[in-house]
């Protein structure tokens, strides 16, 4: 498990190095300078969102470890915390994603170009972050084989749930994740095995919250 997460960290860092150099003349040093110059011009609101989101994902993981430690049995918790604290959504700081996300969510306009650029940035994001269920949806190249949904490795299921739950933590409404999942579960494409794991974890979270809040 530790080797798997470590390999993923390496792949994400290599992806990051590739992103900052692609389509920019003058090599990676010029690309890094470009990122830092652009970041100084972008909105503080988006930077604050990136910090808050990662903190709220980490809160969810900490809560699981403190209140439902059995859920993390068999997981390298140190590596998973490192993944969440250091690498979660790292690609949002790359050239391919940073400016399109900022313009879409904080630029106060939804022009054709802004929307188009965000769509490409979102596609870039889900293909580089395996905690998104879309990462595991395989569109086969062979005619007639259609689309397959692959099983998600367990540590990415945990990170995905913490990612979903982060918005509930931000709102201070920890039960909100359950109504959100009920609303979107028919749309979210998960393998049977992954869905069962996800729903088992959500059920345990709800039961624990009930016990904490209502003494059930």
Q: What is the pLDDT of residue 143?
A: 87
Q: pLDDT per residue over 105-120, tens digit each?
A: 999 899 999 999 999 9
Q: pLDDT per residue over 154-193, tens digit each?
A: 999 999 999 999 999 999 999 999 999 999 999 999 999 9
Asked if pLDDT for residue 98 goes beyond 90, the answer is yes
Q: What is the pLDDT of residue 152?
A: 98
Spell out the residues 6+ positions from residue 6 whose beta carbon is closer than 8 angstroms to its own: 79
Going by the DSSP 8-state scheme, the letter that residue 83 receives in this structure is: I
51 confidence band (pLDDT: 50, 70, 90): very high
Cβ proximity of 121 and 101 under 8 Å: yes
Spell out the residues 6+ positions from residue 107 whose beta carbon is closer than 8 angstroms to its own: 43, 114
Q: What is the pLDDT of residue 33?
A: 56
What are 28's two structure tokens? 């990676």
Percent of the chain scoring above 70 in pLDDT = 80
DSSP code string of 102-114 = HHHHHSS---HHH
Q: Where are the domains of the chain?
A: 1-216
Asked if pLDDT for residue 25 goes beyond 50, the answer is no
Enclosing H/E stretch for 157: helix 154-171
* CA–CA distance, 196 with 201 (Å, rounded to integer): 9
Region 59-66 average pLDDT? 98
Q: What is the pLDDT of residue 13?
A: 46
> Where would I find the H helices in the chain?
2-21, 27-41, 44-67, 77-82, 98-106, 112-126, 154-171, 176-184, 192-214
Cβ proximity of 216 and 173 under 8 Å: no
């Amino acid at each position: 498990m530790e080797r798997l997460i470590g390999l993923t960290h390496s792949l994400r860092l290599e992806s990051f190095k590739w992103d900052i150099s692609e389509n920019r003349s003058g090599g990676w040093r010029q690309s890094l300078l470009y990122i830092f110059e652009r970041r100084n011009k972008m909105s503080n609101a988006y930077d604050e969102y990136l910090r808050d989101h990662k903190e709220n994902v980490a809160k969810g993981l900490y809560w699981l470890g403190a209140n439902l430690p059995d859920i993390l049995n068999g997981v390298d918790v140190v590596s998973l915390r490192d993944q969440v604290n250091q690498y979660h959504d790292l690609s949002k700081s790359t050239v391919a994603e940073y400016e399109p996300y900022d313009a879409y969510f904080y630029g106060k306009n939804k022009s054709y170009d802004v929307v188009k650029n965000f769509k490409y940035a979102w596609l870039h994001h889900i293909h580089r972050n395996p905690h998104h269920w879309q990462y595991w949806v395989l569109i086969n190249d062979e005619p007639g084989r259609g689309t397959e949904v692959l099983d998600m490795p367990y540590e990415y299921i945990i990170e995905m749930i913490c990612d979903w739950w982060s918005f509930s933590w931000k709102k201070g409404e920890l039960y909100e994740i359950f109504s959100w999942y009920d609303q979107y579960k028919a749309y979210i494409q998960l393998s049977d095995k992954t869905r069962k794991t996800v729903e088992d974890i959500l059920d345990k979270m709800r039961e624990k919250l009930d016990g904490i809040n209502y003494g059930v």
